[in-house]
Amino acid sequence: MIRKIENKEETEKKRERRNKIIVIIFGIILLLSSAGYAFFGWEKTTAEGKVSMNGLTFTRQGDVWTTEISSYKFYFRYLPNETEEVKINKRLQDYIKNPLYLTGSSAADEEIARNLAQFAERINLACYMENCTENLPEKNCSSNMIIIKEKPDFKKSVYTEEDNCVFIFSNNTIKAADSFIYRILQS
């Protein structure tokens, strides 16, 4: 079979037409996939990831649970029924418009900072008393300070208070941090 000889102009028109068709097809695929995710992707996470507990509604967002209290948003890795009871006297009021010092940058410290940053004047790293090996300011319990230490051999977390300090010792520091936050929100 003999092919028709095409001039340069006809060849260019066919190539442009083919490219337009490909662009249109990819555009349709992009629109449909975005629309599908918008309509069906979000529905699954919110329908399956909502829990009501203690008068609050928790929504799963990735690896955290979020809830809103008095227009403030809080983020937790654990729900209240997955945490432990904490017997301390600290309240959220103790941290409002006051500086807060943390002694580390672990996931548990970040959990506390993420939730209390909206209330504290500022949150900084500091060393507790004379145990400083880093170039950080040394603080004592005259300042609001939360000291979290991982203790793998502990079966149950220990929470103690000394003046303005809270000491948390636990084999699961993130769960212990969530337990602490739930406790100060109850006050």
Report which of residues 78 and 1 the model is more confident about: 78
Distances (CA, A) of 103 to 15, 92, 121, 131: 65, 19, 17, 10
Distance CA 146, CA 12 (A): 71
pLDDT at residue number 1: 64
21-42 pLDDT, tens per residue? 888 888 888 888 777 766 655 4
Phi, psi of 102 (to 5 degrees): -115, 150
Distances (CA, A) of 5 to 10, 11, 164, 175: 10, 10, 89, 75
88-186: which CATH architecture? 2-Layer Sandwich (3.30)
Angle separating helix axes 173-186 and 107-116, nearest 10 degrees: 20
Q: Which of 6-15, 75-84, 107-116 has the lowest mean pLDDT?
A: 6-15
163-186 pLDDT, tens per residue? 999 999 999 999 999 999 999 998
Distance CA 147, CA 126 (A): 10
